Structure 1
Amino acid sequence: MRLGIVSGRRRHGKSYLLRALSEAVGGLYITAVRAEGRLPALQRFSEAIATHAGLRPGTLNLPDWRAVLTNSLDVMARRSETPLLIIDELPYLLQHSPELPGLIQQLYDEHQWSEGIGARVILCGSAMSVMHELLSGTNPLRGRAVIDLRLGAFDYRASRDFWQIEDPLTALHVHAVLGGAPGYRPIAGRPSPNDGFDEWLTHTLLDPGRAVYSPTETEYLLREDPRITQHTLYYDILTAIANGAGTPTKIGSALGRQRNAVTHPLDVLESTGYIHREQDILRPRHPVITLADPVIRFNQLITLPQETSVEQGFAEETWKSSTPTFNSKILGPHFEDLARTWTRRHAHTVLPNGLPGPVGTTEVADPAARTKHEVDVIALALGERPHSPRARIALLGEAKATAARRGTGDLQRLERIRDLLTEQGYDTSGVTLALFSLHGFHADVVELARGRGDLLLVDLETLYGV
């Protein structure tokens, strides 16, 4: 017997893929239902096993979960050369049947010495914290799974291909509000983003009648994890982070609470994948906390502050008035994040020394100017570790999503940062200076790039590989 764990956020396509896998090998796919009681669940699972075995409805009425598991494995062993059982949305079952992991562990141990091809069992769920705990600590299934697959969203390039968006700028805008979750495309409906981003947005995320309406979707996502109970507190925390509060102290201050009052909720949000902590690559300072889900960020910054207007049907007016907020607090940070993603995944094709090491952000003090320079993108050389005092730096980059083109002034700022890092003992002898721009570059810096091997210009087409 072999055991696999599959987890991932809603809309990432887990159930779609598992159903296809089950159909391909003649397996048994059963999904749990939210708020379903223990007895109805046992009855429904019994019916699914009977149907799979070719029996009449009502033939099986299994009394407990051990009987359900044993009978499902027996039926599959008789009907398929590759016995496969898939239990989707397992966390719903655990709410009323916490003994399931222990029963699966017993069956797993009993089947290790059986002859022939053993059963393959896949457990899947969207409640990330619950699924991660299945294999942790002293839990029964620890050390028994051969697969622990955490299915993520598409990256920005795959997302553009999936949505079939022609214009890279439109693709960037769509990714900034929905991310790469493939499940949004079928429920977004018409119009297509190719018909115009503004029209598409007002008919999807700002349309209360659509399933992808951002307050509805945010509530739907947050209710997936049983650890998120005080929804008002979590909403307030997400709003504070969206507005730029990036540390527990600042988040607590924005909510009028002490730092320790938000520590546990932040741990829950991180374990469930709603926030992430961006580490400073050069110095061991407190990490900056940011929102991981673009839909939630859009909801907290755009929809919620003007929810009354949206609900009354003024989507176009709401969106027009929100454009400055979108550009500064959503599109700008998102473009910087994609610049770091491009550096991790694609920069090796153009960097002189190939694949870089750790990629992130940092802040560089400039004592002479009595200021600090924020670095949007910094990559250490391959093999270097973050926070090493004399690390080799492979790339320094500046990413700006403004309408202005980038020029020599931006280059001079990067050169100043490079010189400061050299003075602080870092090895910048092989550093590449990268300018990331949403709307291209001035002719002077383009001309400089032709004659300099240490200057890299990355426009939107380069970012998307078109």
Structure 2
Amino acid sequence: MHKPERVLARDAEWSALAQFVEHPDNRMRLGVVSGRRRVGKSFLLRALAEVYGGLYVTAVAEEGVVPARRRFAGDIARYAGIGPELVADAGWESLLTTAIDLTARRNGLLVIDELPYWMAHSPELPGLLQLLYDQSQAGLGQERGRVIVCGSAISVMNELLSGTKALRGRASIDLRLQPFDLPTMARHWGVDDPAVAVRLHSVLGGAPGYRNLANVPAPRTLAELDGWVAATVLDPSQALFSGSEAEYLLREDPRFTGSSLHYAIINAVAQGATSPAKIGGLLEQPRGSLTRPIEALAGAGFLRYDHDPLWERRPVITVADPIVRFHNLIAVPQRDLVDTSRSAEAWRRAQPTFTARILGPHFEDCARAWLRAQDAGAGQVTATVVNDASGRAKHEIDVIALDKRSGRAVVTLIGEAKATITKRGVADLDRLDRLRALLAEQGHDTSSATLAVFSLEGFHADLKATADRRDDVILVDLPTLLK
């Protein structure tokens, strides 16, 4: 089945889900979809259920077990065209069996959205799905059933398929829905100015659900962006206020409800602590006591481990969600101004921090994402550090594409990505030439490496002329990143 036009992008995800539904196996099949709140899971799965004539049901937070079963029964009754009283008092096993049978007869599927809400009062649900699945595999019923369970509490969804949990080894698809990339986010918001798009993406990331929370039109110019930020993510009266959203995202996961330690860890990472030792230093706690909460935050998608395959050092820890990073770096330090309705002044004062600690790193992320989308043939695209023994210095490489082979890297691209207000010049290319030579001196293959300069503000004429004369140089400006 073709993806509906209203579903922007998501081609690979739709293809995987369609393949799941259309699989010729006549036995029951299970799928798991997860992703952070507002990433578009419900929108995508509603469209899938609609196209395939399926039944989409969603759990409700803080609803008791009896109202939840009755709500599910009502959804089943409407889908079947029968009176709700016929299934109103059924138990979970009977309701699941009925829903799967009904959807299977129409070659459709059953989607249970936000399953963790039901699991809070009915933890037996995964076990019941396991029972129905195993019975189908043994030829005892549930022919051609297709069931997708979905949730925003990533730690809960991860555990569904882990260890000795009921659904381990039974789900044929485990899809983690990601936020939109920079070009897709710009299309979703209707933003044509690349300078506005990259800044908006650095504040909110690519979660499409944020657009509906904004109480003012999307900004079209940089001047409008300043007013938009002050009126949304820095306005405590708005649903899109970064502080409310950051707290909501953390409380969404039952592992972290009300945990001051987890908030403190995220804040420390946003402030620049990139390792357990540095986090412990900021929090004045021993590193060993933070290992488990840091790993829990990473497993739930709040923190991210960025690995450097070139040197196999310990991974760098960063905040995964841009709006959480924005809150900790911009809203928290300017809290007095924000809380007294002086958001415009708070945003003005925060500009140096925003440029250096949010826009700069985010532009590097976008450059790496752009390169991955180009299918450059490299195994990994990341950032790294090169040690210059002669100069006793360390040089950061913002973008590097490589394949690691027996401890030796075959480097296909070395890039510099700087979100400065000035154009980039030949000095940047000279630096990349030097870095390529350093990598070669350390035993890595750079013979076919391309040098790439990514710029927020374009390039000086001398750099353009040099790039035109060389076949190993590419220049990537902001409009190119949005293509």
Range of TM-score over shorter length:
over 0.9
The correspondence for 2:390, drawn from 346, 368, 371, is: 368
Structure 1 window deviating more from structure 2 (68-77 vs 294-303): it is 68-77
Aligned to 2:438: 420
Asked if residue 309 in structure 1 is aligned to residue 332 in structure 2, the reply is no
- From 363, 368, 371, the equivalent of 1:340 is 368
Residues in 2 aligned to 1:111 and 1:415: alpha-carbon distance in whole angstroms: 61
- Out of 119, 137, 142, the residue aligned to residue 94 of structure 1 is 119
Q: Gaps (5+ residues) in structure 2?
A: 1-27
- Give secondary structure in 1 for the equivalent of 2:122: coil
More off after superposition, 115-124 vs 184-193: 115-124
Aligned to 1:106: 131
Deviations 1:216-238 (A, max 9, x none): 11111111111113532122111
Q: 1:148 aligns with which of 174, 196, 205?
A: 174
The one-letter code sitting in structure 2 at the alignment partner of 1:47 is G
Give the equivalent residue in structure 2 for 1:182: 208
2:251 aligns to what?
223
Partner of 1:3, secondary structure, is strand
1:82 corresponding residue in structure 2: 107
1:159: Cα distance to partner? 1.0
**CA distance, structure 2, for counterparts of residue 419 and residue 75 of structure 1:** 65
Moved over 4 A (4+): 114-117
Contact preservation (8 Å) 2:418, 2:456: yes
Q: Which residue of 1 aligns with 2:399?
A: 377
Q: 2:320 pairs with 271, 278, 292, which one?
A: 292
**Contact 1:242–1:297 (8 Å) recurs in 2:** yes
- Please give the alpha-carbon distance, in whole angstroms, between the structure 2 residues aligned to 1:116 and 1:276: 40
2:268 corresponds to: 240
Counterpart secondary structure, 1:355: coil
Q: Secondary structure, in 3 states, of the residue corresponding to 2:237?
A: coil
Q: 2:203, 2:386 → 1: CA distance?
A: 31
Is the 8 Å Cα contact of residues 51 and 57 (structure 1) preserved in structure 2? yes
* CA 1:194–1:115: 2 relative to 1, 3 Å: same
Residues 1:134 and 2:156 aligned together: no
Q: Secondary structure at the match of 1:392?
A: strand
Checking the alignment, whether the CA contact within 8 Å between 1:8 and 1:152 is kept in structure 2 is yes
Q: 2:192 aligns with which of 166, 170, 189?
A: 166
Q: Which residue of 2 aligns with 1:51?
A: 78
The alignment yields a C-alpha RMSD, in angstroms, of: 1.8
Residue 306 of structure 2 is matched in structure 1 by: 278
CA offsets, 1:182-225, max 9 Å, x none?
A: 11112213232115211111111112221111011111111111
1:59 CA displacement? 4.3
2:218 to 169, 192, 205: 192
- Partner Cα distance (2:284, 2:338) in 1: 28
Contact 1:83 1:118 in 2 (8 A): no
Moved more, 185-194 or 218-227: 185-194
Q: Please report how far the alpha carbon of residue 49 of structure 1 lies from its aligned counterpart in structure 2 after TM superposition.
A: 2.3
SS of the residue corresponding to residue 196 of structure 2 reads helix
Deviations 1:439-464 (Å, cap 9, x if unpaired)?
A: 11122111111111112211112222
Alignment correspondent of 2:429: 411
Q: 1:62 aligns with which of 64, 79, 89?
A: 89
> Structure 2 vs 1, CA of residues 126 and 358 (structure 1 numbering), >3 Å: closer, same or farther?
same
- Give the corresponding residue for 1:389: 407
Q: Could you tell me which amino acid in structure 2 is paired with residue 141 of structure 1?
A: L
- Tell me how far 1:114 sits from its aligned partner: 5.9
Q: CA deviation at 1:33?
A: 1.3
Deviation at 1:433, TM superposition (A): 1.3
Give the counterpart letter for 1:359 in structure 2.
Answer: V
Kindly indicate whether the alpha-carbon contact (under 8 Å) linking 1:281 and 1:361 is maintained by their aligned counterparts in 2.
no
**Contact 1:65–1:100 (CA<8 Å) still a contact in 2?**
yes
Q: Which amino acid aligns with 1:206?
A: L
The one-character-per-residue Cα deviations of 1:139-176 (angstroms, maximum 9, x if unpaired) are: 22122222211111111111111111111110000100
Q: Structure 1 CA distance, aligned partners of 2:408 and 2:125?
A: 51
User: Which deviates more, 165-174 or 271-280?
Assistant: 271-280
The TM-score, its normalising length taken from structure 2, stands at 0.90
| TM-score, normalised with respect to structure 1 | 0.93
Shift of 1:57: 4.4
Whether 2:450 is the aligned partner of 1:432: answer yes
